Amino acid sequence: MRLTKRLIAGSGVGWGGWSEAEKAPRGDPSKESRARAGRGGRGEDAGFVWKMLTRGGDVGSLLSAMDQEETGGHWQVEAARICLRILADVARWMMAEAGKVDHEEEEEEEVAGGLAPAVPGGVPAFGGESLKAGRGCLRPFFRLSGLADKSPAFGICRQGNMSSSPSVLMRLVASAYSIANKSGTIVRKVMAGGDLGIVEKCGANDLQTKADRLVQMSICSSLARKFPKVTIIGEEDLPSGEVEEDLLEDGQCEEILKKPCPQQYMAIKEEELVVWVDPLDGTKEYTEGLLDHVTVLIGIAYEGKAIAGVINQPYYNYEAGADAVLGRTIWGVLGLGAFGFQLKEVPAGKHIITTTRSHSSKLVNDCISAMNPDSVVRVGGAGNKIIQLVEGKASAYVFASPGCKKWDTCAPEAILHAVGGKLTDIHGNFFHYNKEVKHMNSGGVLAALKNHDYYASRVPESVKQALVP
């Protein structure tokens, strides 16, 4: 029953994971299938089949091979169908051995146009509509007569999470991770050089540095070269032009590429994604030497929702001594989780509020007072504040002001939501990250790892009335 459980759980199905007894059991009907494959008149088909099955091939690889039909890889398509036929035969045989199904070899299922593996309630995906299942395949939870796109059993479909190549989303996240690491290096290099190239954009509290400019060029150009159809929106308004080659990053994090993409994001296309970039979140703190406040933010949105984020802290561990590893990169995908840190919670009953250090106002202070906090932590950077939430240094992030923008919140929101937290405006509304939306988060920001509803209920009506979403 081990194979059956693996099939239903949706894990990889390949000969490489079976014991010797499972590979060639007595009466194994797959032997007949292999013989039929060999007699099919195409030797390379049979060889390809056996190679795929004995060298760790999985259902995703087979389906990927079947997708080659439109590009002319006909023999691979046929070989993949044979592979799937073998897997179907073996699975039915094992279930028959377990007494779950009365396998009747004289009534094999007939599938128009080749094999169409199925799951409960399945509908044909590869074959035609004229399907006749043998009685050995009629059990409701294990029927092999068609492929259901939405059933969790088997976990396989044309764009399922067993694809032989990473999805667009996971490739984008893997690239963003490597680019964020490079960005952290640029931030440190500019600081070490001594010339920050500070420019005031809209006053003394809204600054731009050489690091802001170089990092945005690095992120946007690197991503655009690899993902030309993705919409990229950066904080800084920079002139277009050639970017020096040493600012570009082509690498991708291999560990991220190995992670499974959440099923709901497998079919996303490049042109459906929007990337929001804050090249240096906490610029004012950067210019004042408060280096642990600084982050680089790359947020990824789909259908207006923040679904993935990457946060680099260039100076993480900078006070830990010369031998400490400097900098870290945190990343997360909604439905998969968040990585690169240790998730912690503030002790129960404690209310620690983190808020702005440089953009305080009467509204901000009134809102914080209404929370009746045990303590207030004032730091720079939206990314830094969300990290405080997920590492148990603060209970809630409260910012009752219209100063925050989409590039400040997209990446942090995705990571917070990936671990079960919640980020909204002061009214409890979620932000939208479509490429057409206004950049300002005019309704303020309210975020918490736990008990978001409690903090939302404490926001004074006077504050809500003053902040129009």
Beta-bridged to residue 111, according to DSSP, are 131
Residues near 182 by beta carbon (within 8 Å), at least 6 away in sequence = 218, 222, 249
Annotated binding-site residue? 89: no
Q: How many CB atoms lie within 10 A of CB 44?
A: 11
DSSP 128-174: -S-EE--GGG--TTS--S---SS--STT--TTSTT-SS--HHHHHHH
Torsion over CA: 148, 151, 152, 157 (sign)? positive
Q: Are 279 and 183 in contact (CB under 8 A)?
A: yes
Q: 76 near 65, Cβ under 8 Å?
A: yes
Q: Where are the beta strands (DSSP E) in 108-256?
A: 110-111, 131-132, 199-200, 207-208, 231-234
Tell whether residue 408 is among the known ligand binding residues: yes
Q: Is 281 annotated as a binding residue?
A: yes
Catalytic residue among 58, 89, 212, 292: 212
Q: Is 81 left (phi over 0), alpha (psi -120 to 50) or beta?
A: alpha
Contact between 304 and 283 (Cβ < 8 Å):
no
Query: Which residues, at least 6 apart from 175, have a Cβ–Cβ distance to it below 8 Å?
Result: 222, 223, 226, 227, 249, 251, 252
Query: Tokens standing for 67?
Result: 């997708």
Strand-pairing partners, residue 207, are 200
* Cβ-contact 178, 310 below 8 angstroms: no
Residues 6+ apart with CB under 8 A from 125: 116, 146, 147, 149, 157, 158
Alpha-carbon span 87 to 162, nearest angstrom: 15
Cα–Cα distances (Å) from 277 to 87, 215, 396, in that order, read: 46, 10, 24
State the amino acid at position 306 in one-letter form: A
88 and 126 Cβ atoms separated by less than 8 Å: no
Report residue 257 CA to chain centroid gap. Answer: 10
Q: Is 374 a catalytic residue?
A: no
Given a contact cutoff of 8 angstroms between Cβ atoms, the answer to whether 259 and 170 are in contact is yes
* Phi, psi dihedral angles at 366 (to 5 degrees): -65, -40
Q: Is 453 a catalytic residue?
A: no
Phi, psi of 11 (to 5 degrees): -85, 175
Of 168, 160, 183, nearest to 64 by C-alpha is 160
Q: Which of 58, 89, 283, 425 is catalytic?
A: 283
Q: Are 328 and 317 in contact (CB under 8 A)?
A: yes
**Active-site residue numbers?**
212, 283
Binding residues for Mg(2+): 235, 278, 280-281, 408
- Which segments are annotated as binding site? 235, 278, 280-281, 408
